[in-house]
Structure 1
């Protein structure tokens, strides 16, 4: 049995401390090594992402490239990683004291956020399994930092154009609509791929000018970028970044997106168009095409294009007849090599597509029902009707179309045109005497088709006697001298006289002799009836205009007789009186409003303003009756209230009742400037004194013609020098859309100013002039 030697006396504690120190040193060294490994791993991952972004390669290829560079330059892998990141330069190992790889000092802090982001993205892209997964991954990583709202990935097709292989941020309907891009100039993603440089779409107006075929569906994406992905030479894929944010891409976002496009080269390597079935031997394809060149129908020979899973995704056109045209107007041999869905993209929504797949997988051919298709011929797009047939030929498919004879449709269109225009065509052969009419011509001329068409010389016999000579002369000029004619005539019909129009021209031989005549006859009865109605209406308008002119003349005379207006302010009993009368805009120039301003025999002044309900001659008659009767009563000594009572009885008990009326009677005595007034349902006078306007308190009195027992009272007011008193009718203050109180307030506010009467009234009048306006402006001179 072996025993350990005993430690020297007195050295036990020291030995334990030394052993513990060695253990701690070993653990610290291991910890430092693990930290160095972790730092080295992080640097390696960031450098790998940068190389992937720059070279467009996979993560393994990027690390292999770093090792190759380090070996070639004599650097360690860590040194080369820092060089790739741009943080430090390689140390000079020849310099004295130069540290080795293990002693490489940790670099000073540098901005590595970008390299970190690219490294994380590179590791994420290394795990994607399909272009669709790639698009989703890109959108998740780019949305926050670059404002990306949608991602689209296209690959180039062998025959031109692009195919959408991945998308995120757009719905399936929009993705299906954008699934294929035709090989046309002006399409941004295709332009970017062809030019090999990014296409930044940041201003809609400028972008549409540079790329006229920008999709209308992209209106919601206010800024877009199309970035070529160089997975090979030349680039075969393009990355689309779509944003709803308007404005340009910031420089740092552009750099980020360009780097991301380079990173996509690895995941997209090997992703290409659909796998094509084995092509037919050249001699067989040429033989089929030679047969197709002689076929008068529209037909194509299709070779299926299959996906990696073996499903038929499209067909390649191997041969095509000369009569075959696609939706873009290409035809015949120009279609060879193109894809079936590229030439007829809407076919996937039709039974024909399902029929082609069934015919290729089975033995029975497919025959479709007639269907409509838009076709471009000589630059003109027209809708035609076809029937299609698909039959298998070995591993290929023959699809043919039969266009239905358009003659029936054209004939129907011509018949519809004649029916809608109420006309019919006619043709006469002057050499053989043969005449041919359309069915509508027989209907227009009222002739039984069983009796046949009339010779041209006998056509005037159908016209009324008054119109026959003119039609005969026109036919004679047409057949003898070849002069075209356009002549109206009438004929008798069971429903009455009908108005027709004959238009014809001649076809001459080499000597200029007419040999044929063709033209049409048209029923213009409705048009002629309209013309006659317009003539009758014009005559009625002229008659009415004359009546209105006479009525205006009568109204002017009636105005002068019943309501003479002074041209200037007048002086009455020491007062200055101005009068304004404005009739309503419609009807006679004299209405139911009136005024009187006269000086009485005793030197007093009488002022009257009244308004008869209604308009027209009845209102004018009532106005004249009240105006002259009121003046006569006051002149003969009647009091104001007595005059109102008698006028009320006059309206009620006259043989011809005249409705109702309102009135203000005012008598001014200049000796003491006293104004006595009474009213019958009329707005109160407005007194303006010292720049303040107020309405006088109304005495009792109801409107005239409303009651057998009215009661009228008087009120008094002493005027002062400088006072202004306005008597007016309700047309000045009443408007249908507001209460009369508002109109009274508006008048008081306007009258408080120094404006003369006519200028004062301007803003107060109803713009539509629906009622008469009468105003008496009574002013007491300052020196009175």
Structure 2
């Protein structure tokens, strides 16, 4: 309950119905009860109006709830009004004059009593309550940015607002964005500043002190600059002066995503909100903006004391907010541009007016990036070309731009032509490990580059060496040749290019000196210039190359001799039959193809022999490695396997013993793969086992398949291998192919592709009749053979012989 309407009378007690009062007394009691209920209802209405008025006053002045209550009470007492009447005056000040609440038209007019609440125009009650809520929320914001966010929270559902913008009028007449909500960072950066130009809607609202309602996009864009990217994103918008009238310093923008006119209630709400915002904007403790002229003068006073080339650039923005140019507002005395202007002569000029070719270049974009991101920009050295008084002007610069306030502090370094040439010459001498030297034979003046001392291993503090004393630096074997070349140059002006050696702590260094003479008109040498170059690295590389070539030739001879020996040993140990042979009733054909890469002989081998019991032994193996060692291991395995099977060992037993043999060999690291088969002609059964070897290929009645391999790991891999055996009953016309992996492997190809290719070749060969071993070998072209190939082609004749 408000303080101005304290209830002092006690409620009347109803008469006791059982007291036997007469009807007149009872009517009086009922009348008193009705009056009391009416008073209580008016008291509740007063409390609601009081809370709304307090919220509005808090938003406009930034005071606390208690202070707002006291302020309303003091105003009511000073104006000889009730607290309810003062609340109506406060709320009425927020509403448009044409629809003000009763009692707010003129000071001194009779304000409405509390009971007149229901008689207000439709919607006034709701609007006043909404303004009270907004006012209480605005009290809690602490910046223009938070203020914009708070307004968007309320105006979004109430007025369809999609974005809220707050602009402040600057001393130059332009606008600066101080708070926003509902837009992105890029939008805010682009429209951060607006120049004082005609057609800018917020400036127009501030100029006339009245809102600008932009509700027809097609018509409005003909007369106003519509912000937004693109403007069609906001079909309708409103700009209102804050607090109102021609004294407003702020503009409130409400952008909507829907088109059409603002409803009367929405307009009243926005006008009232603009008045509410005035107090909060004045309450923010933002320091006053320093005039740009004062900033420039402050910076200029600092730059006057600095060396080098430094300028202060102030961006000049177009009506759209984009940077259109830069103005030089301060400069150091040592600053010199490409046209020769220095210091204060540059102040006041515009970048694009003085240097138009900068537009669109990386330097221009670097300035913009520094303004937007706040990160300093540093350019690579670039050549700037222009024309001054009809004469082409070119200079090379490196530029750095750092944000300073709302502008840029720009420094640059001009690379002089002579400086660049000297630097390039120094780089050439350093990279080429050479130095130039000059001897004046008339004045006896000597000048050397710093690199010359480094090449000759001399101390620059001791000065250069006279021309005739240079041979003293060379080794004795080279000193005479160098002395003769110098004497011929000095006497007859004959240029020379002489290699020589000098001693150094790290060893002998190989140098080269090239020199020529500058002669007088009569041909007398007057000056000698040339260079000294260190060729130690090149000479060492040449000697190392010669030594390497000699070692390679020696190694190649050794390898060729080893290959020849291994080949002879292989041919002696593994003779190849020139024609197919008959073993145990089977026709056997053998092929061996050496590798086409390298000069080593591999360890691929076969064995096809008839045993004492008329059975036949067939073996195909592959020893890892090449050379004599592989051939020796191959021979050991071949003869051992033959002996074991001949003495009754089974295929699996023979593989077990051969595995032990490899593990007990000299190095114990040799491995091998193998297929070992024993054919019994009495039963026609081929019993076989394998150790990590590719499966045999069977061709039977035109069908081709690979035999399922029994278990078995390659020989030499483990001390406890497990070998299993399998049996195959050969039928008349069967063809069985045993081979090493060189037949199916190709570089960069999976092994399954090789198996499929071999099977396809065998299938095609079987359709042509008996088939031939050459057809299978043709699946691997000679130029792709990276390993030896060994093949046993075993056939069962169609009819028993």
TM-score (norm 1): 0.47
TM-score (norm 2): 0.46
